[in-house]
A and B are shown apart, each in its own frame.
Chain A
Amino acid sequence: MRTVRFITWLSVLLALALTASAQDTAEETALERGKAVYDEWCIICHGENDPASGGGTAALEFLYQGALPAKLEDRSDMTPELITELVRRGRFGMPNFRLTEISEQQLDDMIAYLRRDSGDVGDANDSGD
C-alpha cells in the first residue's frame, strides 16, 4: 500500500514538473515568437535611436524627455489594450497594421514579449497552434 502511495505521489510530482516545464517552454516560445514579430515590424522605428530608424524611439525621447524609457522594449508599463490600440490604430504618423501584416496571434505574442517584465504574461501560454 505504501509503495502504491509513493508511486502515486511520484506520478503527481512528475506530472506537475512536466506541466510546469511545458508551460515554461510554451511561454518561452511565445516570447520568442513575439520578439520575432517585434523585430520584423516594429524595430525599424522603435529600436535603437540610430540613423536608419523611422524615428519612433527619437520621437518618444523628444516627447518623454527622460520621464519614460524611449525604447518600447525597455518598458514594462504598457497594457495589452494600449499595445493593441497602437498597432491597430497607429498614432502621430505611425501607421496601423492590418491582419495580413500582423495576425491576432502575432499581436498576442508581441504583447507577451513587450510585457515580459510586467509580472503578468497574459496569454503568453497560448501556443498559437
Chain B
Amino acid sequence: MAVPTGVSEQDWAAALEGFSAVVGSEWVFTEEEHTSLYHDVYSIYQGEPEDPVVPAAVAPYTAEEVQQCVRIANQYKIPIYPISTGKNLGYGGSAPVYSGSLVLDLKRMDRILNVDVEKATVLVEPGVTFYDIVDHFERNNIPLTLDMPDPAWGSLIGNALERGMGHTYSQHGRDRWSGHCGMEVVLPTGDMIRTGPGASGSDVLWQDQKYGIGPDVHGIFTQSNYGVITKMGFWIRPAHEGFRHARVHVPRFDDIHKLVALDTRLHNMEICNGMSVMASPLYGSFGPMLFMPPVTDPEHLALLEVRNGERPDPGPLAAYGERNRLAFWWLELKFHGPNSVTQAQWDYAKDLFSREIPGCWFEEYEPLEFPLSEEVKANLNTYGHVEMVNIGIPSLHRFAMSMRNQFNPEPGVGHFWFAPMIPKTGEQILLAQEVLQKNCERLGIPLLAPYYSMMPLMWYPRAGIFLAGWNVHADPERNRRTREQYVELSQICADHGWTEYRAPAPLHDQIMRMSNGFNDHALLRFHETLKDAIDPNGILSAGRYGIWPQHLREEGQG
C-alpha cells in the first residue's frame, strides 16, 4: 500500500483508521486498482516519473465528514487534494499537483440544497453537475435556467472555482465565478466558515447578497488553495423567453477596429447581453462551432497561402471578397430576452453599425421562442442553427470536437488548452494573430489552420481568449517537446501582457511565475503569506497554481 508523501507508516495507519471511522471503509480507497482511477488520463506526463501518483482517496458524504477528514489530515500532516467531480479535463482532471497527495473526492456530495424560483438562486454541493441541475429543473417544472460550459458533466462549484466560462449572459452567466453568492468553506485546520451574510449564522440573505461585514474573502478560495468548499450559492436566471442572433458583415480589413470597438460598446451599454463571436470568411475561418466549412475554392485558397509566417495580403483578399460577396470579418451578436425587447436592441445595433461602418451588411436569423418547438430542438447544434450552449441546454457537443473526426483523424490520448487572454481591440487581435502564427511556425507547433483565420473567444466583456486545444500523446518524447513549446509560447504571450487564462496542472509553477512577475513576484509572495497563515501545516492542494506551503516551497518551485 502506498503512503502519502512525507507521512510515516504509523501515522498513515492511524489516519486511515480515522478516515474509515468517518466515511466508512468502503469510501476509503487504498488499493492501486482504485487509486489509479484518480490518475489524470489527459496527463502531459503520460508514463513519466513526474506523473502524479495518488496513494489514497477518501470520499466523504457530508460537510461534517469533510471537516472531520480535514482535521485528521491536518493532525497527521497528510497532503490532501480536493476534487468536485474530477472533470477538470485538460487542466489536471482528478489528479493532484503534488504527487503523493490523498485525493478528497467530493463527488458523493451531490445535493441541490435549495432553489429559490422567485430570486433565481440555487445552493449546491460540489458534486452537483450542470446536467443534474437542469434535470432537477425539468423534473420539477422549475422555470429557471443557467449558463452552460462546453461539457455539461462538470461541477458548478468546480467550474466557478476554476473561473470556467460558459456561453450565455454577460452578467452572472458565462463568467461562472461572477455568479457565486455565498459559500461554506472548511479551512485546512478543519474549522468551518460561511461567507457574506451567511456568516451571521442565518441563511435568509446568504444567496441574495454577496457582501457582509468585513473584507470580502471569496476570491482567495478560487483555485482551491485555502479551503474546501462544501456549499456554494449561485445567481442564475429565469427561464429563457426568447433568443435572437444576427451577424454584422464588414467588407474591409481595417473594419476590424470599429467592429470590435462597437461590440464592446454594445456590451458595456448592456444592449448586447449574449456572447459575441467573430470570424473572418476571407481569411478562411472555419469549424463546426462557427458553422462554417473550410475554404475549397482554388482561387481563394491561393490567396490564403502563408509565407514565412507573414499575414496573407489583405488587398487581393478584399477584392476577392467584393467579387464574391464575402465579408472580411463578421461579428455575431446574441441577445437573450423577450423577442419584443431584443428586436429593439438589435435595431439599435444595426443603426449603430450602419452609421459607423459604411458598406456593412446584416444577416438575421429567425429568433427563438421558448419553450422550443420539437422542430427547433431537432435542429440545434447543426449548421445554420443555434448551439445548445448558447441557450442554456446541457450537451457535450463541444467536447466532441476533441474526439476522432474528420478534423482530428488521429486523436491523442487527451488534450489540454493553450489559452492566452488578450485585450479586446482590433489592434491587439491582429498583433496576437501575427505573434502566434510566426512563433508557432518557428517552434514547429502544428496548427489545424493559420492563426490568421482564428479569432479570440469573446467570453469576457473586455478581453478575448485565443483558445487552442493541443493533443497529448502516449509518446513521452513527443509530450516533452509539446510541454517545451507550450511554456515557450506562453512566455512569449506573457511578454506581450497576454497571460494564460488557466493552465494544465503540471505546468502551474511556470505559468504562475511568468504571469506574476511584477515587483519580483510580489503577488506570489502574498499568496504564500496567506498560505502559511491559513494552512500552517501546508496540507491543502500543495503546488496548485504555483502556491506551495513553506516546507515544500524550495522543492516545489525548484
Query: Please, which residues of chain A bring their CB within 8 A of the CB of B27?
Result: 100
A95 at the binding interface (Cβ < 8 Å): yes
Report the separation of the CA atoms of residues A1 and B409 in the bound assembly, to the nearest whole angstrom: 77
Report the separation of the CA atoms of residues A13 and B366 in the bound assembly, to the nearest whole angstrom: 68
Q: Name the CB-closest residue of A to B379.
A: A51
Query: Between A and B, how many residue pairs show CB distances below 8 Å?
Result: 98
B405 at the binding interface (Cβ < 8 Å): yes
Report the separation of the CA atoms of residues A90 and B393 in the bound assembly, to the nearest whole angstrom: 26
Task: Give min CB distance, A3 to chain B, whole Å.
Answer: 53
A8 at the binding interface (Cβ < 8 Å): no
List the one stretch of A14-22, A27-35, A57-65, A113-121 in contact with chain B: A57-65
* Contact between A52 and B381, CB atoms less than 8 A apart: yes
* Contact between B409 and A96, CB atoms less than 8 A apart: no
Known: A93-B414, A95-B89, A98-B105. A63 touches B404 (CB 8 A): yes
Report the separation of the CA atoms of residues A42 and B280 in the bound assembly, to the nearest whole angstrom: 37
Known: A58-B405, A95-B41. A53 touches B400 (CB 8 A): yes
* Contact between B29 and A92, CB atoms less than 8 A apart: no
Query: Please, which residues of chain A bring their CB within 8 A of the CB of B153?
Result: 44
Question: In residues 86-121 of chain B, which contact A (Cβ within 8 Å)?
Answer: 86-87, 89, 93-94, 105, 107-108
Question: In residues 30-79 of chain A, which contact B (Cβ within 8 Å)?
Answer: 44-45, 51-56, 58-59, 62-63
* Contact between B399 and A54, CB atoms less than 8 A apart: yes
Nearest 7 pairs of A and B residues by beta carbon: A55-B400, A54-B396, A51-B381, A55-B403, A59-B404, A52-B395, A100-B107
Where the two chains meet, the residues of A that have a C-beta atom closer than 8 Å to any C-beta of B are 44-45, 51-56, 58-59, 62-63, 88-101
* Contact between B87 and A62, CB atoms less than 8 A apart: no
Query: Please, which residues of chain B bring their CB within 8 A of the CB of A58?
Result: 400, 403, 405
B151 at the binding interface (Cβ < 8 Å): yes
Total interface residues in chain B, CB < 8 Å: 43
Task: Give min CB distance, A125 to chain B, whole Å.
Answer: 23
Q: Name the CB-closest residue of A to B381.
A: A51
Known: A51-B382, A100-B107. 14 other contacts (CB 8 A): A45-B400, A51-B381, A58-B403, A59-B405, A92-B413, A95-B87, A95-B89, A96-B37, A98-B38, A98-B86, A98-B105, A99-B29, A99-B34, A99-B37
Task: Give min CB distance, B264 to chain A, whole Å.
Answer: 31
Report the separation of the CA atoms of residues A97 and B85 in the bound assembly, to the nearest whole angstrom: 10
Report the separation of the CA atoms of residues A62 and B400 in the bound assembly, to the nearest whole angstrom: 13
Where the two chains meet, the residues of B that have a C-beta atom closer than 8 Å to any C-beta of A are 27, 29, 34, 37-39, 41-42, 57, 59, 86-87, 89, 93-94, 105, 107-108, 131, 151, 153, 380-382, 388, 393, 395-397, 399-406, 409, 411-415
Query: Please, which residues of chain A bring their CB within 8 A of the CB of B34?
Result: 99
Give the dominant DSSP class at A's interface: loop
Report the separation of the CA atoms of residues A52 and B403 in the bound assembly, to the nearest whole angstrom: 14
Query: Please, which residues of chain A bring their CB within 8 A of the CB of B93?
Result: 95
20 A-B contact pairs sorted by A residue (CB < 8 Å): A44-B395, A51-B382, A54-B399, A55-B399, A55-B405, A59-B404, A62-B404, A63-B404, A89-B41, A92-B411, A93-B403, A93-B413, A93-B415, A95-B41, A96-B37, A96-B39, A98-B57, A98-B86, A98-B107, A100-B107
Q: Name the CB-closest residue of A to B29.
A: A99
Query: Please, which residues of chain B bring their CB within 8 A of the CB of A59?
Result: 400, 403-405, 411
Report the separation of the CA atoms of residues A65 and B131 in the bound assembly, to the nearest whole angstrom: 31
Known: A52-B381, A90-B41. A101 touches B396 (CB 8 A): no
Known: A52-B388, A54-B399, A92-B403. A98 touches B37 (CB 8 A): yes
* Contact between A45 and B412, CB atoms less than 8 A apart: no
Query: Please, which residues of chain A bring their CB within 8 A of the CB of B399?
Result: 45, 54-55
Q: Which of A51, A63, A93, A95 contacts B397 (CB 8 A)?
A: A51
Q: Name the CB-closest residue of B to A96.
A: B41
* Contact between B412 and A93, CB atoms less than 8 A apart: yes
Q: Name the CB-closest residue of A to B402.
A: A93
Report the separation of the CA atoms of residues A30 and B315 in the bound assembly, to the nearest whole angstrom: 67
Q: Which of A51, A54, A92, A100 contacts B404 (CB 8 A)?
A: A92
Task: Give min CB distance, B127 to chain A, whole Å.
Answer: 8
Report the separation of the CA atoms of residues A45 and B39 in the bound assembly, to the nearest whole angstrom: 21
Query: Please, which residues of chain A bring their CB within 8 A of the CB of B381?
Result: 51-52
Query: Please, which residues of chain A bring their CB within 8 A of the CB of B404?
Result: 55, 59, 62-63, 92-93
